[in-house]
Structure 1
Amino acid sequence: MPATDFKDYYAVLGINKTASAEEIKKVYRRLARKYHPDMNQGNKEAEAHFKEVSEAYEVLSDSDKRKKYDQFGQYWKQAGQGWPPGGGGAGVDPSGFDFSQYGSFDEFINELLGRFGTTSPGGPGRSPGGRAYTYRTTTGGPTGFSGYNGFDGFENQTGQATAVDREATLSLSLSEAFNGVQKRLDLGTEVVDVRIPPGAKTGSRIRLKGKGAVSPYTQQRGDLYLTVELLPHSFFQFDGENLVCEVPITPDEAVLGAQIEVPTPDGSVTVNVPAGIRSGQSLRLRGKGWPKPKAERGDQMVKIAIVPPKDLSPIDREYYEKIRTARSFNPRSDLKQIKL
């Protein structure tokens, strides 16, 4: 790499190598305001300066990254040309450092500076230097959350020159989601109350405006997006928009028909089971399912399962044997006609 391609981050910010963290921050804020794209619409030169300043600050403001930059800055000149590995033997640094494990010198720098996951250039999470990153942090959290301060899989996927949004998973019981609930969330720096309206389902997203991270470049705060995850229930499940359940009936109820009690989200109801129903058929309870917008309700589907008794009393066995002896119905009569 030519010497002119080497970026001296200290020179970019106009500071010396002994500058304190506070001095670096102060200088960066002044330069970021001066060259910010919002303040220099259409000025490509200002945009380029802003990227350089942002890149320099990203490294020098982090004590670990700054230490690595000071220690390994020499590799920026020695490994920039001849990539990918195998081109002209440039995969091995003359001083003994093996660069052949990296697809490009940028990849080496990303690892050197402690950057985490790289996404596609130009996509979400694009850094001031022109590459894109995804940041993940996980620690313990309060009830209903997991991950960073209760957030599962916290990610920053917005441009670093804009406000930073947060993503979090909120676990709800079926009862909480059906009736709606107010949750108190610990965001680490503050505690907020959020009202979850009735009818939330797995995948539902709730936006808390201005509750995300603060951008170090604009000092604007992003948004917090909560993605709902419903905890499993022992009786109710979902099938598309419908709430579904399975209810067992006896063989005589299937043959003769019956009235049975079926649980719904807001209490039991009496359901007429028609005579001759087959195992696996479903009955529709209109308006007894999951809440929808505008105070509507979906349907609840009751799947029938015919369950024979495991233990028969002497009287039960006697009557079942009489039925078998007298029965004229043969459900397998059509099988006699089946051939290869």
Structure 2
Amino acid sequence: MQQVRNYYVILGVSQDATNEEIKKSFRKLARQYHPDVNPGDKTVEEKFKDINEAYDILSDETKRADYDSQLLGKGKRRPNRISRNGTPNSDNSYRQDSDFWKFKDFTPATTKRAKVVTPSRSSRRDVEAKLIIPLEKAYQGGRERIRLEDGRSLEVEMPPGMISGQKIRLKGQGLDGGDLYLKITIATHSIFELQGTDIYCQVPLTPSEAILGGAVEIPTIDGLVKMTVPKGVRPGQRLRLANKGYPDASGNRGDQLVEIQIVIPPEPSEEELELYQKIRDKEKFNPRQYLLGN
């Protein structure tokens, strides 16, 4: 009997966890196990893939429901989980599987068996498998090792600039001489969000950085770069870094969209408080003036 991977354990949440709890745990783990934080550590890289695979399933209501049905065991009762409409759902107990790849009719976030594409007299079958990869790997390309249900391990040369839904054909690696098609899914990133060929992210600034402007370091898919923040930038305002987005089929890159967030220091020092007090004593701007009818 094939076993279903325990995505709840991978993300460190319970089966009745809310979407917000799942998202919070994913972001924490994604930062901890990101390949850029642990360069050259293949174990951490595999862990990062597992975390993204688990989040891809559990963050989607439909995928999560399908996945939960895979966890059901006869005669076993699962704990209740409250759905979005307030109706309790139930989960059954499960068993965890350490294999990354599963070929069967349907296993969430892993693979599925494709239909026979050759004449019925032939036993050759093409197989489609889902491959979840980090955004950086999709952007850079390079060699990626995968494991198949029959125990084979393959190294695949990935092209740069891959997108979700793209398929890579491995000739003769399917069933009985058929082909294997890897369907690419780009994992949810903890910082960046793809919007077509543009890459969106949020960058926090201190009040003084927002008022005075200047150069600040921000992350991009190519690494850290310095961006000039104009004086008096507003929260929610978007700045654009030209040609720092994702490449299209022709190799032309989009832009990076940087949304400004202004963050108040949680524990300002006594000296900082004194300076803020001096500013308040001298400032003339009153953002509530229109409320006073003046």
Task: State the TM-score bracket (shorter-chain normalisation).
Answer: 0.5 to 0.7
Q: In structure 2, do the counterparts of structure 1 residues 160 and 335 end up closer, same or farther at CA, with 3 Å as the change threshold?
A: farther
Q: Secondary structure at the match of 2:199?
A: strand
Matched-pair contact (CA < 8 Å) for 2:117–2:126: no
Match 1:177 to one of 131, 138, 143: 138
Structure 1 equivalent of residue 114 of structure 2: 156
- On the 8 A contact 2:197/2:253 being kept in 1, the answer is no
Greater Rg, structure 1 or structure 2? Answer: 1
Instruction: Using the TM superposition, give the Cα deviation of residue 189 of structure 1 relative to its aligned residue in structure 2, in angstroms.
Output: 7.3
Q: For the residues of structure 2 that align with 1:223 and 1:336, how far apart are their CA atoms?
A: 72
Extract unaligned runs of 5+ from structure 2.
1-95
Q: Is the 2:193–2:201 Cα contact (8 Å) retained in structure 1?
A: yes
Would the aligned equivalents of 1:180 and 1:199 in 2 still touch at CA under 8 Å? yes
Aligned in 2, Cα 1:309/1:275: closer, same or farther, shift over 3 Å? same
| Closer, same or farther: CA 336–239 of 1 in aligned 2, 3 Å | farther
Structure 1's 159 and 271: CA in aligned 2 closer, same or farther, altered over 3 A? closer
Q: What SS is found at the alignment partner of 2:265?
A: coil
TM-score w.r.t. the length of structure 1 is 0.49
Distance 2:197 2:97 in 1: 34
Aligned residue in 2 for 1:213? 175
The list of structure 1 runs, each at least 4 consecutive aligned residues, that deviate by more than 6 angstroms after superposition, is none
Measured on the aligned residues, the alpha-carbon RMSD in Å equals: 2.9
Match of 2:161 in 1: 199
Q: After TM superposition, give the deviation of residue 251 of structure 1 in Å.
A: 0.7
Q: CA deviation at 1:304?
A: 1.1
The change in CA–CA distance for 1:185 and 1:322 in structure 2 (over 3 A counts) is: closer
TM-score (norm 2): 0.56
Report Cα offsets for 1:244-267 as digits up to 9, x if no partner: 222111111111212111122222
- Which range moves more in the overlay, 298-307 or 227-236? 227-236
Q: What letter is aligned with 1:198?
A: P
The answer to which structure, 1 or 2, has the higher relative contact order (CA under 8 A, 6+ apart) is: 2
The alpha-carbon deviation at position 240 of structure 1 amounts to 3.1
Question: Which one is further off, 155-164 or 280-289?
Answer: 155-164
208, 228, 234: which one pairs with 2:184?
A: 228
Aligned length: 191
Distance change >3 Å, CA 140–CA 197, structure 1 → 2: farther
**Whole-Å separation in 2 of the counterparts to 1:159 and 1:205:** 16
For 2:97 and 2:112, the matched residues in 1 are separated by 12
1:326 alignment counterpart: 282
- In structure 2, what is the Cα distance between the partners aligned to 1:326 and 1:316? 16
| Selected match of 2:269 from 313, 331, 336 | 313
SS in 1 for 2:286: coil
Aligned pair in 2 of structure 1 residues 329, 227: CA closer, same or farther (>3 Å)?
A: same
1:147 aligned onto 2:105: no
Identity %: 40
Alpha-carbon distance between aligned partners in 2 of 1:328 and 1:147, rounded to the nearest angstrom: 66
Look up the equivalent residue of 2:115 and give its one-letter code. Answer: Q
AA matched with 1:195: E
Does the CA-based 8 Å contact 2:197-2:248 persist in structure 1? no
Equivalent-residue separation in structure 1 for 2:244 and 2:220 (angstroms): 7
Q: Which residue number in structure 2 is paired with residue 278 of structure 1?
A: 234
* Paired residues of 2:220 and 2:244 also in contact (CA < 8 A): yes
SS at match of 2:184: strand
Structure 1 position 259 matched with structure 2 position 220: no
| Unmatched runs of 5 consecutive residues or more in structure 1 | 1-138, 215-220
Equivalent position amino acid for 1:252 in 2: S
